[in-house]
């Protein structure tokens, strides 16, 4: 058994089925939508209906990404990260 599969830290960052390191991945669709909406908000500072729409799209996309990570994350780290991001999004909506 490889050393990384025996270590609790190694297991936290690895896919339990393949043993591959699963910390970072190429952005998937919801993360790409979130990034584009966030960049648009930072660059163009939209206001009114457009600004609200960009904010709703960004929030919906990051919630979509977080739920996908919780359900299908390749490692415990990615599932935990999804949970933390979802918690942050929910708190932001509640407090914002």
Minimal CA–CA distance to 34: which of 72, 70, 60? 60
Q: What is the pLDDT of residue 1?
A: 45
Q: What is the pLDDT of residue 25?
A: 79
Minimal CA–CA distance to 58: which of 16, 88, 21, 24? 88
Residue pair 77/11 in contact (Cβ under 8 Å)? The answer is: no
Tens of pLDDT along 85-95? 999 999 999 99
Tens of pLDDT along 69-80? 999 999 999 999
């Amino acid at each position: 058994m490889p050393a990384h599969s025996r270590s609790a830290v190694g297991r936290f960052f690895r896919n339990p089925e393949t043993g591959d390191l699963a910390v970072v991945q190429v952005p998937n669709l919801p993360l790409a939508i979130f990034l584009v909406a966030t960049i648009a908000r930072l660059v163009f500072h939209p206001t009114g209906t457009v600004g609200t729409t960009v904010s709703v799209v960004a929030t919906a996309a990051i919630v979509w990404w977080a739920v996908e990570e919780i359900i299908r994350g390749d490692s415990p780290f990615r599932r935990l990260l999804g949970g933390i991001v979802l918690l942050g999004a929910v708190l932001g909506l509640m407090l914002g």
